[in-house]
Amino acid sequence: MPHKQYMCPVEALVDVIGGKWKMPILTLLFQGTKRYGELRQHLTGVTERMLTMQLRELEQSGIVQRKVYAEVPIKVECSLTDLGLSLKPVLQVMLGWSEQYLCVIEQKAVWWEEVSNSSINPTD
C-alpha cells in the first residue's frame, strides 16, 4: 500500500492525531498501559465501535500497540510505542499554544460583546 503524500509535513501529524477521541486516548496512554475496558470507562460518550476504530488508526500509524491475551474473557492492553511516546513533547507545546489561543479568542469575544451591547449610535 503506497504512503499518503502530504503537501506539508505537519499534515502527517494532523492526520495521525486528528479525530475526536484520539487526543483523549493519547492522554490516557501517556499515563501508562491501559486495558480496553479502562479506556472505555474513562472516555465518557465514546461508543465501542468508535474507540476500536480510533485505536486501530493509532495502531496503523505506529503510535499505539495492542496486546491481546488468549483468555476468557479476552483481555486487550493498549500502550504507546516509542514513536507514540515521542509525541508527548510535541503535544505539550501544542497544549501551551492552544491555551494562549483560547485566551485571545475569549478576550476578543468579551470585547465584541461589550462593543455589541454598547449604546453607540452611528448616526449621532
Q: What is the CATH number of the domain that holds 46?
A: 1.10.10.10
Confidence of residue 62 (pLDDT cuts 50, 70, 90): very high
Q: Which residues pair with 75 in a beta bridge?
A: 69
Whether 103 is covered by a domain: the verdict is no
Say what the pLDDT of residue 4 is.
82
Whether 95 is covered by a domain: the verdict is no
Question: Residue 2 phi/psi, 5° resolution?
Answer: -70, 150
Q: Domains in the chain: how many in total? A: 1
Whether 75 is covered by a domain: the verdict is yes
Confidence of residue 106 (pLDDT cuts 50, 70, 90): confident
Average pLDDT over residues 3-32: 93
Q: What is the dihedral of CA 62, 15, 69, 79, to 10 degrees?
A: 70
Whether 113 is covered by a domain: the verdict is no
Domain region containing 29: 9-85
Whether 96 is covered by a domain: the verdict is no
Say what the pLDDT of residue 1 is.
47
Say what the pLDDT of residue 74 is.
87
